[in-house]
């Protein structure tokens, strides 16, 4: 068959194969166009899960009569004009492929009106990019795109679609995710003429909280930590769920880069590492996070559907995300800050529409259903009434009487009044009651103490009788040589022996029985893919966690009042004390209002 040019409609249909996967793909492209048009409200009407009709109407700036044919032509766009623009893309759409691709597999009608025009103009398209008839129409300022009979001319594509209910559920999920990226935009979603979702523009802080609670659930709002961290020209803001408020699936993880919802392996890896020391085995964290950075530092043109991005300096971004989230989670302790901020006081707001700043810095009383978590403590960080000279350990129990002065405020976890079933500490606070799992809490306190000792004294290493020779790729060997000092700080001494061989000369004493070759390979694989690895550190922490578990207060051991109060004070000063080493909660609070509700007081 000779080489020949493809007809425009076939070219567009090929492009549609990358962009238009299902009805939700059409909705995504068109709503993003509405965002770029500075719309205040976007209305989405769906019929038969999007197969019969997809209508997107907005109140944006609109298009003039002369722009309508261009909007339906490939590679015609108002978003970029040069390579410099492409390298600093700040708009949602910029390829100029969406409308012609959609029109090639559906019947498309485009109606638009600018503020300077007396009336709107309407154009019909069939993917041929020619023979357009532009007619005057009645329409308010803004744009309306109607997509009918999706895949009517490509029946093979229709066979891959699911049921009407399933296809609409994808659209509904998409709209909710997009609504979290644009708090200042209103959304209306209808299916078969029935209103499913109606969101007014959320400009006030309480309105943003309301939208977050509506889209992610009240439980998320009640069990979230606010994040606002800025460093090296990057800013991360939003909300992360408490480690004890997790899910079995990764279905509540929303990450936005300059307002664009993305799925990124580097981001997912950084988040997993931030949670690795506190999350229950097999559980998934929940979060709504917004990363802002110079558009020149991120390539949004890495995926046809713009679902993935590529960072210019992936190591910088990975380390920044890890530090910000690790700090936020570590501060989750009684009397902790509950709000991670790396910003100077009075720093100006610079998020997407100033809508991504977390709305709160403490947690209200939770419900005690599935996934419930401890409540917030008093909003201010209160001074600890005791100054302990020694850490509380079974070998050295602080048995000094604990004073309870009447003229001082209660500490965050209050004072112990009983040891229930020789397992739980019951403490009284100024506002209610605290229940603490003594073993779980002391396990975390001991674990964090061991980690601090390890960091302060360095990692003891054990030389191998015979160096272990490990064959690697050239890239891996280069990484081993580059990060040799980092390995040495963790007790593993490496030296290069040839282009593709590395000698392991010593391993950490705590890991004397570990498979050193596998640990080295896994660590280098992380470094190659993400620029960072915590595998060696995690292996060491695993040993320390076991030591902490065996060295902690055992269940059913009777504790004295001074011992219990000593543990409570330590929890208030220990990072991550809200959960044990296995990710289970260490304490909960029953407020006075909870107690009144239980006994129907005031009703």
Residue 194: the pLDDT is 97
Other beta carbons less than 10 A from residue 282's beta carbon: 8
pTM of the model: 0.75
Residue 549 clears pLDDT 60, i.e. is over it: yes
Q: How many angstroms separate the Cα of 430 from the Cα of each of 252, 411, 438, 568? A: 35, 9, 21, 15
Ordered DSSP codes for 349-400: P-SGGG--S-S-SS-PPPPSSTT-------SSPPPPS---SS--BTTB---S
Residue 192 clears pLDDT 90, i.e. is over it: yes
Distance CA(138)–CA(129), nearest Å, equals: 24
Once rounded to an integer, what is the mean pLDDT over residues 373-400? 33
Q: Is the pLDDT higher at 422 or at 401? A: 422
Once rounded to an integer, what is the mean pLDDT over residues 165-181? 96
Once rounded to an integer, what is the mean pLDDT over residues 295-308? 76
Residue 382 clears pLDDT 90, i.e. is over it: no
Q: Which of 402, 390, 381 is nearest to 564 (CA)?
A: 402
Q: What is the largest CA-CA distance in the chain?
A: 95
Distance CA(34)–CA(30), nearest Å, equals: 6
pLDDT-derived band at 304 (thresholds 50, 70, 90) equals low
Q: How many angstroms separate the Cα of 588 from the Cα of each of 411, 433, 571? A: 15, 9, 13
Q: How many angstroms separate the Cα of 82 from the Cα of each of 79, 87, 118? A: 10, 9, 33
Contact 84, 172 (CB under 8 A): no
Q: Which of 70, 19, 21, 7 is nearest to 306 (CA)?
A: 19
Residue 341: the pLDDT is 40
Once rounded to an integer, what is the mean pLDDT over residues 313-342? 79
Residue 553: the pLDDT is 74
Residue 94: the pLDDT is 62
Q: Where are the beta strands (DSSP E) in 126-271?
A: 134-137, 142-148, 186-191, 194-199, 224-231, 234-241, 253-257, 260-261
Once rounded to an integer, what is the mean pLDDT over residues 194-223? 93
Other beta carbons less than 10 A from residue 397's beta carbon: 16
Residue 393: the pLDDT is 37
pLDDT-derived band at 529 (thresholds 50, 70, 90) equals confident
Ordered DSSP codes for 251-318: -SEEEEETTEE---HHHHHHHHHHHTTTSPTT-B--EEEEEE--GGGEES-SSTTS---EETTHHHHH
The rounded percent of the chain whose pLDDT value lies above 70 is 83
Lowest-pLDDT range, 95-99, 464-468, 503-507?
95-99
Once rounded to an integer, what is the mean pLDDT over residues 261-265? 88
Mean pLDDT score of the chain, rounded to an integer? 82
The rounded percent of the chain whose pLDDT value lies above 90 is 46
Here the tokens at position 356 are: 């991504």
Q: 3-state DSSP call for residue 66?
A: helix
Q: Report CA dihedral (7, 10, 16, 17) to the nearest 10 degrees.
A: -140
Q: Is the pLDDT higher at 320 or at 277? A: 320
CA atoms within 13 A of residue 333's CA, in its CB half-sphere: 22
**DSSP state, residue 69:** H
> For residue range 101-147, what is the model confidence (pLDDT) as tens digits?
898 899 999 999 999 999 999 999 876 767 788 999 999 999 999 99
Contact 354, 299 (CB under 8 A): no
Residue 379 clears pLDDT 50, i.e. is over it: no
Distance CA(317)–CA(267), nearest Å, equals: 8
Residue 383 clears pLDDT 50, i.e. is over it: no
Contact 186, 41 (CB under 8 A): yes
Here the tokens at position 216 are: 């992610």
Residue 39: the pLDDT is 96
Contact 434, 574 (CB under 8 A): no
Residue 386 clears pLDDT 60, i.e. is over it: no
> For residue range 475-525, what is the model confidence (pLDDT) as tens digits?
999 999 999 988 888 888 999 998 899 999 998 887 877 889 988 998 898
> For residue range 220-248, what is the model confidence (pLDDT) as tens digits?
998 999 899 999 999 999 999 998 888 88
**Tally of residues, the chain:** 603
Residue 543 clears pLDDT 70, i.e. is over it: yes
SS3 content of the chain, % helix, strand, coil (to 5): 35, 25, 45
Here the tokens at position 103 are: 């029109």
Residue 305: the pLDDT is 60
Residue 361: the pLDDT is 33
Once rounded to an integer, what is the mean pLDDT over residues 192-198? 97
Q: Is the pLDDT higher at 527 or at 497? A: 497
């Amino acid at each position: 068959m000779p080489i020949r040019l493809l007809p425009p409609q076939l070219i567009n249909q090929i492009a549609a194969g990358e962009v238009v996967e299902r009805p939700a793909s059409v909705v995504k492209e068109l709503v993003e166009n509405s965002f770029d048009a500075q719309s205040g409200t976007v209305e989405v009407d769906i019929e038969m899960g999007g197969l019969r009709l997809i209508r997107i109407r907005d109140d944006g700036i609109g298009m003039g009569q002369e722009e309508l044919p261009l909007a339906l032509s490939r590679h015609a766009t108002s978003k970029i004009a040069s390579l410099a623009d492409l390298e600093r893309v700040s708009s949602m759409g910029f390829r100029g492929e969406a409308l012609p691709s959609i029109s090639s597999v559906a019947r498309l009608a485009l109606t638009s009106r600018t503020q300077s025009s007396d009336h709107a103009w309407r154009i019909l398209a069939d993917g041929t990019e020619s023979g357009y008839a532009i007619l005057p129409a009645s329409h308010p300022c803004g744009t309306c795109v109607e997509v009918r009979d999706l895949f009517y001319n490509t029946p093979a594509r229709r066979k891959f679609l699911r049921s009407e209910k399933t296809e609409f559920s994808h659209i509904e999920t998409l709209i909710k995710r997009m609504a979290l990226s644009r708090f200042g935009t209103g959304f209306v979603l209808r299916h078969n003429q029935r209103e499913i979702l109606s969101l007014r523009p959320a400009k006030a802080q309480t309105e943003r909280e309301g939208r977050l609670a509506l889209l992610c659930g009240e439980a998320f709002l009640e069990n979230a930590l606010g994040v606002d961290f800025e460093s090296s020209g990057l800013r991360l803001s939003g909300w992360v769920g408490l480690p004890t408020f997790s899910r079995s699936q990764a279905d509540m993880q929303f990450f936005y880069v300059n307002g664009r919802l993305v799925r990124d392996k580097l981001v997912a890896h950084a988040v997993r590492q931030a949670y690795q020391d506190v999350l229950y085995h097999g559980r998934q964290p929940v979060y709504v996070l917004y990363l802002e950075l110079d558009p020149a530092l991120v390539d949004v043109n890495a995926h046809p559907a713009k679902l993935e991005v590529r960072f210019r300096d992936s190591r910088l971004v990975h380390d920044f995300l890890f530090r910000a989230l690790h700090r936020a989670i570590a501060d989750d302790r009684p009397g902790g800050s509950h709000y991670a901020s790396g910003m100077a006081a009075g720093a100006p707001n610079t998020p997407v529409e100033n809508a991504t700043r977390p709305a709160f810095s403490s947690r209200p009383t939770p419900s005690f259903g599935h996934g419930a978590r401890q409540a917030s403590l008093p909003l201010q960080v209160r001074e600890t009434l005791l100054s302990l000279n020694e850490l509380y350990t079974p070998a050295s129990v602080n048995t000094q009487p604990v004073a309870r002065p009447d003229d001082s405020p209660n500490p965050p976890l209050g004072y112990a009044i009983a040891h229930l079933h020789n397992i739980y500490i019951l403490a009284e606070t100024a506002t209610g009651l605290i229940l603490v799992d003594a073993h779980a809490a002391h396990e975390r306190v001991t674990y964090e103490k061991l980690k601090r000792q390890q960091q302060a004294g360095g990692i003891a290493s054990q030389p191998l009788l015979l160096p272990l020779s490990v064959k690697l790729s050239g890239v891996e060997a280069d990484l081993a040589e580059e990060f040799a000092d980092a390995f040495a700080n963790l007790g593993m001494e490496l030296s290069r022996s040839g282009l593709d061989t590395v000698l392991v000369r010593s391993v950490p004493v705590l890991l004397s029985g570990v498979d050193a070759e596998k640990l080295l390979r896994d660590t280098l694989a992380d470094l190659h893919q993400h620029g960072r690895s915590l595998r060696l550190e995690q292996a060491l922490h695993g040993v320390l966690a076991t030591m902490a578990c065996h060295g902690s207060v055992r269940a059913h051991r009777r504790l004295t009042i001074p011992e219990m109060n000593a543990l409570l004070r330590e929890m208030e000063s220990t990072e991550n004390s809200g959960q044990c080493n296995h990710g289970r909660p260490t304490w909960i609070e029953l407020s006075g209002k909870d107690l009144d509700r239980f006994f129907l007081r005031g009703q």
